[in-house]
Amino acid sequence: MAIRVGILTSGGDCPGLNATIRGVAKALYHRMGSKVEIVGIMNGYDGLINGNYREMSPDEFSGILTVGGTILGTKRTPFKKMRVVEEDKVDKVAAMKKNYRAAKLDCLLCLGGNGTHKTANLLSQEGL
């Protein structure tokens, strides 16, 4: 049975995201071979909230080292609003937990800045 690793990039775009995604993917495939599956979460936490993710293949991580931006997309989803149910009536934390489980993830790699890691810590405290 393969380990399923989710990867997301959240917050503002910055140099090095694709290089980091590539490095993580290459290391996982090198160490675990066919015993790992990588799931790309599109547009950061917004993708996790809305269930916008897909399984990725090893060839998708080639040729991205010098490409700007992030192949996964990014979006600002402020930490201070994670526990706030807004007009759309979505409980963001509950939705992320539900979609994490629906994607059958074993872990989630969150690339970004301070807010990204505050939300990652929140998810950890929620049992993910």
pLDDT means over runs of 10, the chain (128 residues): 96 89 97 97 97 97 91 91 90 97 98 94 96
Nearest Cα neighbor of 17 from 113, 115, 107, 96 is: 113
As given in the structure block, the two tokens for residue 86 are: 């807004």
- Give me the pLDDT at residue 68, please: 86
- Give me the pLDDT at residue 1, please: 86
For the chain, give every domain's residue range.
Answer: 3-125
Tell me the sheet residues that pair with 7.
40, 109
What topology is assigned to 3-125 in CATH? Rossmann fold (3.40.50)
- Give me the pLDDT at residue 39, please: 98
User: What's this model's pTM, rounded to 2 decimal places?
Assistant: 0.94
- Give me the pLDDT at residue 110, please: 97
